[in-house]
Amino acid sequence: MLESIGYGAAASHEPLDMMRFKRREPGADDVQIDILYCGVCHSDLHTARNEWGNTVYPVVPGHEIVGRVTRVGAHVSRSKQGDLVGVGCMVDSCQRCASCSEGLEQYCENGFVGTYNGEEMHVGGMTFGGYASNIVVNEKFVLRIPDNLDPAAAAPLLCAGITTFSPLRHWKVGKGHKVGIVGLGGLGHMGIKIAHAMGAHVVLFTTSKGKKEDALRLGADEAVLSTDRSEMAAHENSLDFILNTVAAPHNLDAFMVLLKRDRTMTLVGAPASPHPSPQVFNLILKRRQLAGSLIGGIAETQEMLDFCGEHGIVSDIEMIPIQKINDAFERMLKSDVKYRFVIDMASLAKERSE
């Protein structure tokens, strides 16, 4: 077995701390990666604290991984030693169902294997994520990082980037469209950048006056205070699509009425408790649709990375050492980051030597 060191949680009420664990040795179809950077996602916090009620302890979070290939199996053809690569939210799927056959592994009918807190398909037990020194992944789930992107700032693209790119692409956002982005955080700031690069007129909706100016800097054409009734009323029946990134329960009706007839609001934020149900009449009177979206399949994730490479898009990040991860969790709860923490895994070096 392969030795690994990382930071994980032993129980929902305990902070993350250093732990040693084992991964499988690379098989014929596997790639071994030394992790350089790992983004910090709100899902990491939800899982570490068992807020979704499905965590198996111990758990090592992290699914926004960028690193260097150190070993490849005999059958590997897509990666070679020294390549800069990424690993996102999935490390395996059944590869047999209709969704997998269509390149939609995130909707695998048999359940995709999460990068952490997933059931390991090869040696059993649970998967451990990217808050760690290394990882072993089937080559089909390894992604190429464009050479022109800063690898640290590219790490959050593996979750925040694809989570916003996939619905924007699926609902065919482009030139001539007026698109609303709800919430300016780790997901929202990526939604602004990607929708802008797709050619849309982007309107950011926020509850914080202080974020208006930053939204314009990121590429929004307008910024609206969602608690101001007059500002909201000015956009009623005007939007072609809404990407709602907020990960806390809130009133969806305030945004549904902003959509034109036959248009869609898609939810990508994952709250620990449910949203209030929208009023049916706000849907039926304009044939509006409320939808959800997960991440993207592997092919689409690579498409997103290439798109970001073409347009020079990365996340706005704050780099931290692994030893600051618990502080980062608390700051994330207060929205005290612009807009994604990324762990510099070189900070694990002193833990390795102890």
**DSSP code for 219:** T
Cα dist from 47 to 42, 207, 264, 329, whole Å: 9, 26, 29, 12
d(CA 159, CA 165): 10
Q: Tell me how far the alpha carbon of residue 72 is from its chain's centroid.
A: 26
Closest CA relative to residue 242, chosen from 193, 203, 294, 211: 203
Tens-binned pLDDT, residue by residue, of the chain (354 aa): 899 999 999 999 999 999 999 999 999 999 999 999 999 999 999 999 999 899 999 999 999 999 999 999 999 999 999 999 999 999 999 999 999 999 999 999 999 999 999 999 888 899 999 999 999 999 999 999 999 999 999 999 999 999 999 999 999 999 999 999 999 999 999 999 999 999 999 999 999 998 999 999 999 999 999 999 999 999 999 999 999 999 888 999 999 999 999 999 999 988 777 778 889 999 999 999 999 999 999 999 999 999 999 999 999 999 999 999 999 999 999 989 999 999 999 999 776 655
The answer to whether residues 66 and 84 touch, using CB atoms and an 8 Å cutoff, is: yes
Q: What is the reported pTM?
A: 0.94
The answer to whether residues 46 and 52 touch, using CB atoms and an 8 Å cutoff, is: yes
d(CA 25, CA 93): 19
Q: Would you list the domain boundaries of the chain? A: 2-159+316-353, 160-292
Q: What is the CATH number assigned to the segment(s) 160-292?
A: 3.40.50.720
**Cβ density class 266-295: b for 16+ within 10 Å, e for less:** bbbbeeeeebeebeeebbeebebebeebbb
Q: What is the CATH number assigned to the segment(s) 2-159+316-353?
A: 3.90.180.10
∠ Cα 16 187 86 (to 5°): 65
d(CA 278, CA 259): 14
What is the torsional sign of CA 333, 336, 340, 345?
A: negative
d(CA 257, CA 183): 17
143 exposure class (CB count in 10 Å sphere: 0-12, 13-18, 19+): buried
